[in-house]
Amino acid sequence: MKIRRKAPKVSSPGRPAYVIGYSFDDPSLTDLTLWFDREYGGPLKHVPGPPGVSPALVTLSHGPWSAGLCLPLRSDEAEQWARSLNWSHRAAALVLPVIGVPQSKPALVLHAARLSRGLTLLTEGTAYDIVTGAYLNPSDWQDRPLAEFRPLDHVLVEHGEAPDLRQERFYTKGLAKFALDELETYRPIGLPAPPVTRTLGDIAEAVLLLGRCPKVGEEMRFPSLGLSVQVVRYRTDSSTGTPVGYREIVWAETL
């Protein structure tokens, strides 16, 4: 008996991975495929979505990796994104993550980023990373092969005010792409920010490569970093409209 593999499901059209805005002609699937095959060896295969769906949805696959593409969006939807993202692009496309497929998260994140990079270059437009909030023009992309995958190309570490005005909050933006909770930590106001930012980034990278976040109360040792990390609290933040889980961590150097 021949076993059929389930086709990848795209989160249609739910929360996209990237929004690409542009002001010139719509890029064609042919142009995107030719560009992708030249850059990454191909072949980039596309499977049309169900008929009658607007905007048109297509699944783009390269080997075992897949992502969805809505191209172009209806003019009213493109205008809504333009107002929301404060840009002047008159047209837009969405790159959508695949759900329910037992594939490597880094590979899927990288595939979606490559497609978004291609659309940005072909349209001379701007990509917006939904999770990190980063705007990416054609010259801003960091392109690497999977063998040189660097999590911090896809995860940001930022800092800002904390509820306790005597403290500063440091937090990640991007681990949610990998189905992980974001990390945060707090430090007294006045301490140098770069060392904390760098260490939190290193911990985020180690957690991502591990594939899971430590539980509340759990202590994890990362010998490569010389650190012991513990989660002291979990919370959910819905201030942006999309619930985001945060695990507050503290760390100490190990001998």
What is the DSSP annotation of 85-106?
A: HT---SEEEEEE-EES----HH
Spatial distance between the Cα atoms of 146 and 41, rounded to a whole number of angstroms = 13
- The residue from 111, 141, 171 where one domain ends is 141
220: in domain: yes
> Do residues 95 and 32 make contact, with C-beta atoms less than 8 angstroms apart?
no
**Of 181, 9, 3, 211, which is closest to residue 100 (Cα–Cα)?**
9
Q: Which residues pair with 95 in a beta bridge?
A: 18, 69
Spatial distance between the Cα atoms of 63 and 108, rounded to a whole number of angstroms = 11
Identify the three-state secondary structure at position 11.
Answer: coil
Q: Are residues 32 and 137 in the same domain?
A: yes
> Do residues 127 and 154 make contact, with C-beta atoms less than 8 angstroms apart?
no
Q: Give, rounded to a whole angstrom, the gap between the first and last alpha carbons of the chain.
A: 57
In a 13 Å sphere around the CA of 147, the CA atoms on its Cβ side amount to 0
Q: Are residues 78 and 163 in the same domain?
A: no
pLDDT score recorded for residue 212: 85
pLDDT tens-digit profile of 9-65? 555 456 899 999 999 999 999 999 999 999 998 899 998 876 666 567 899 999 888
28: in domain: yes
Q: Position of tokens 């440091």?
A: 170
Output the six-digit token pair for 7. 């086709």
Q: Are residues 172 and 82 in the same domain?
A: no
Give the global pTM.
Answer: 0.82
- DSSP class of residue 131 equals T
pLDDT score recorded for residue 211: 83
H helix intervals, the chain: 29-40, 75-85, 105-123, 193-210
What domain range includes position 207? 152-253
Spatial distance between the Cα atoms of 157 and 184, rounded to a whole number of angstroms = 9
Number of structural domains (the chain) is 2
Q: Are residues 21 and 136 in the same domain?
A: yes
In the chain, which stretches have pLDDT less than 50? Answer: 1-7, 12, 101-103
Spatial distance between the Cα atoms of 68 and 115, rounded to a whole number of angstroms = 10
